[in-house]
Amino acid sequence: MYKYLKTHEHVFDVAHFHDYRGAAYYSLLAKTQGLFLRNLLIVVQTHGNNKWAKVVGNNEVLGDVGELEMDFMERRAVKLADYVVSPSRYLLEWMRRESWAENTNGEAIVHPNLLPEESRRGRRKGGRNSMVSSSDDSNSDNDYSDDDDRNAEEVGDEKRRSAVMVDELVFFGRLETRKGVVEFCDAVDILLKNETMAAMISKVTFLGRAASVLGQNGHEYVRERAKKWTNTPWRIETRFGSKEAKAYLKSPANRKGNKRKLAVLPSLIENSPYAVYECAELGIPFLASDVGGTRDLLREEDRAMSLIGYSEEDTYHEKMAMTGELLANRIREVLEKGALSARPRYDAAENDEKWLRWTTHVVVEYKSKRGGPNVASNYRDDDNSVVFLKDTKIEAKDLPFVSIVMTHYDRPRLCKVAIQSVIDQDYPHEKFEFILVDDKSPSHEARLFLDSLEADFRKRNWKIVRNKENVYLGGARNVGFKHAKGKYVMFMDDDNYAKPHELRTFVVAMENGNADVLTSLVQFFWSHDNPLKAREIVDDEPSYLFLGGDAETGAFKNCFGDANCCVRATSFEKIGGYTEDKQIGFEDWEMYANASMRGFQVDIVPESVYYYRFSQGSMQRTTDYLINRKRSLRPYLRTLPKTMHSKLLKAAFPKASSNKNKQNIGKPSGMMAQGDARFHGVDEDTMIREGERRRREEEENFGHVEL
C-alpha cells in the first residue's frame, strides 16, 4: 500500500485504512517523518484489531512473531493516523484500557459503518434510502424487488414489529470461537432433547465461512457436533456471498411461506457487527448478543426484543457470558411466541450524508492548514534548502549540523568505496562532518590507506581517529560519537554504501518524526565494488523489511534494523551508547532493544537508504552466533526476574538432540526460531556464492570494474 500511495499521492485527498494488520503503518511513518504523503489525509478505522479478536474473543494467545509484529503495527497506526474513526464507542474505550497510545496527530471519533446498497430496504431511485444518485438499471442485479421486500418502508413500523413465527435456526457469521459457535451448538443440543422444541425446528443452517473453533476447523467442528442431531436436517452453506446470504435469510423458511428464518448471532465479543445492522435494516428476525457496540446499532426501545442478555444500564459488555442454556431459553421464547425485528438506530441515507459532510470538512480543513493542494514531489531544492513537513523551506544555513561516524578495520578497499558514498551525499557539505574511526587495523596496506586520506580530510574539516588498541565495533562507535559535534549522528559500516540521499532522508525524518533512534530498510548487494556500477543493482527496491522499535518482538528476532542508523545525540548519551564487548556482534541489536525497553522512540524509515554488502569477512560470519544472541537478550534479562532467566535462555538455546554438536545447543524453535540471524530467512551463504559467480562473470565479460 505504501509503495502504491507513494507513486500516486497526487491522486487522492484522503485514504482510509482498516486497523487490522496495521496496513497503514509504513505509509504513516513516511508521512509523519515528512518524506512522502504529506498532503494526504490518512484515516484509520477501528473495525477490530488482531489481539482483540484472538485473545479476548477466542481465548487464544499471540502465538507467533508475526502476530506480535501485527499488534505493534496496529497500535502505531492508530497513534499516528490523522483521524481514528470507530463505529462504536466501545472499541475506543477498550483500546484505552489496553494502554493503546492516544492518537497524536488528530482525533478519534465515533461514526457508524456505511451500509452497502444491497443491505438497504426500500431502495427506490431517488428515494429516502438511496445514495447520491442511481442509474435507471441500478436494481438490475437485485435478487429481490421492492414489491417482494416485506420490510420496505411502505409496510410501516407497526407491521414490521409484529411477531412472525420461525422454524429454521440460522447461525449467521463466521464459524469461529468468538462468534459463539460452541454456545450455539450447545443450545441446539438442549432444544433437540425436548420433543416439543425439536418438532418446532425444521432445519438448522450455518451461514458463514470456516475459521478456527477451539483450535479446530469450523466446518469440522460443526460436523462433529451435528452427529447428535439425527432427526433434524442441518447443513453448512458455503456457496453464498453477502448478498445471497441476506436474500436467503429474507426468504420464507418453508414452501407455505408462513414461517421465517431466525438469524442467530451469539457472539462473545463484537465491535459494531454489520450482520446485526443489516438484519435490523432489512427486517430479518434475529437474536444477537448484547456485547460491545452492538446495542448502539438498534433503537433503544427495541433492544430488549432482539438482544440476548440486554440490560438498560448504560455500560458496554466487553465479553458476553453466553451459555448454551441462556441461548436455548431465548430461542425457545421465539419459537413459542414468534420473533420481533428490532429497528436500526441509524437511517442509512442520513448516515451517508453525515459521513460525506465530515469527510469534506476534514479534508478542506487539512488542506487549508497545509497551505493548499500542491504536493512537493521532492523535498530538496537545487539551492540546498530542504522542505520539511510543514512545507516551509529551511535554508542551508539553518539546517542542523550532523555527524557521520564510520568504523574501519583492515578493509581499505571497501572503505574507500564507502567514503566515496559519503562524499556524494546531497546534504550541504558544510552542514555535516565525517569521522573515520580506525580500530587499530594491523595491515600495512590499511595504514598507507589512512595516510593517503589525511590531506583530503583536512581540507574538508573531517577527522580520522586511530585507536591505540582494538576495542571492537561497539567501542569504536562510542569513540566516534565522543568526537561528534552534530545534533544527529549517523553510524555507518565501512563495507556498506550510502545512497546519495541517505543523510538528508535521516535528517528530514528526525526533524519531523522526533525519533531518538532511526534505522531504515536495506538493499542487499554482494559485489566488491561500487554498487552503483554493479550489474546486480537493477532497481531501488528494499531487499528486507524491518519493523521498527517494538521491544516485545525484539526479544525474538531482530525487528529493529541493521547497524546503519541515525541517533539523536542527546538521546544516545542517555541510552548509554553501545556496550563494548570484544569479539562479539549484535551490539546494535542490543542497543536498539535497550533503547526501546527504556521508552526511547526507535523508528524505521520505510525506505532503503543504503546498500548492505554481503561478504565472507562480515562480523556475523566471523563471530560466535550463540554469544552474539546472548548479547541481544541482555536488556531483557536485566528487566526480568532472575527466576525467568533460565526459561528465556532455554527457549533461545535448546539442548541439541544429537551429541555431534560440540556446544550441545540445538536450533531454536517456536517464536525464538526467527532470532537465528540478523536477517531472518536470508541465506547468506547462497547470496555470497551467487555474488562471487556474478563478479567472475562481470570480470570475464566486461573487465574489472574500476572504483
More confident residue, 319 or 557: 557
Local confidence band at 670 (pLDDT 50, 70, 90 cut-offs):
confident
Q: Residue 290 and residue 317: Cα distance in Å, rounded?
A: 7
191 contacts 198 by C-beta, under 8 angstroms: yes
Least confident of 63-67, 136-140, 530-534, 693-697: 136-140
Question: What would the pLDDT profile of 366-423 be if each residue is shown by its tens digit?
Answer: 988 876 444 333 334 445 555 544 444 567 788 999 999 999 999 999 999 999 999 9
Domains of the chain listed by start with CATH number: 2-110 (no CATH), 153-345 (3.40.50.2000), 386-639+677-690 (3.90.550.10)
Give 380-384's long-range contacts (Cβ < 8 A, gap of 24+).
380/426, 380/501, 380/504, 384/428
Mean pLDDT computed over every residue of the chain: 86
- Letter for the amino acid at 425? Q
pLDDT of residue 671: 84
Question: What would the pLDDT profile of 77-90 be if each residue is shown by its tens digit?
Answer: 999 999 999 999 99
Largest CA distance in the chain: 100
User: How far are the Cα atoms of 228, 266, 359, 388 from residue 322, in angstroms, in the given order?
Assistant: 22, 7, 38, 54
Residue 624: pLDDT over 90 = no
Residues 6+ apart with CB under 8 A from 256: none
Question: What would the pLDDT profile of 143-160 be if each residue is shown by its tens digit?
Answer: 333 344 444 454 446 555
User: How far are the Cα atoms of 73, 338, 653 from residue 643, in angstroms, in the given order?
Assistant: 31, 60, 17
The mean per-residue pLDDT over the stretch 626-631 comes to 90
* DSSP calls for 64-84: SHHHHHHHHHHHHHHHH-SEE
Portion of the chain with pLDDT greater than 70, in percent? 84
30 contacts 606 by C-beta, under 8 angstroms: yes
pLDDT of residue 258: 78
Portion of the chain with pLDDT greater than 90, in percent? 67
229 contacts 204 by C-beta, under 8 angstroms: yes
Specify the pairing of strand 393-394 against strand 386-387.
antiparallel
The mean per-residue pLDDT over the stretch 11-28 comes to 96
Residues 6+ apart with CB under 8 A from 66: none
569 contacts 486 by C-beta, under 8 angstroms: yes
pLDDT of residue 694: 57
Most confident of 202-216, 623-637, 651-665: 202-216
Closest CA to 524 of 401, 329, 694, 324: 694
Question: What would the pLDDT profile of 499-547 be if each residue is shown by its tens digit?
Answer: 999 999 999 999 999 999 999 999 988 777 777 765 556 567 888 999 9
Local confidence band at 142 (pLDDT 50, 70, 90 cut-offs):
very low
State whether residue 541 is helix, strand or coil: coil
pLDDT of residue 660: 59
Question: What would the pLDDT profile of 433-488 be if each residue is shown by its tens digit?
Answer: 999 999 999 999 999 999 999 999 999 999 999 999 999 999 999 999 999 999 99
Residues 6+ apart with CB under 8 A from 416: 449, 707
Question: What would the pLDDT profile of 156-196 be if each residue is shown by its tens digit?
Answer: 465 556 899 999 999 999 999 999 999 999 999 999 999 99
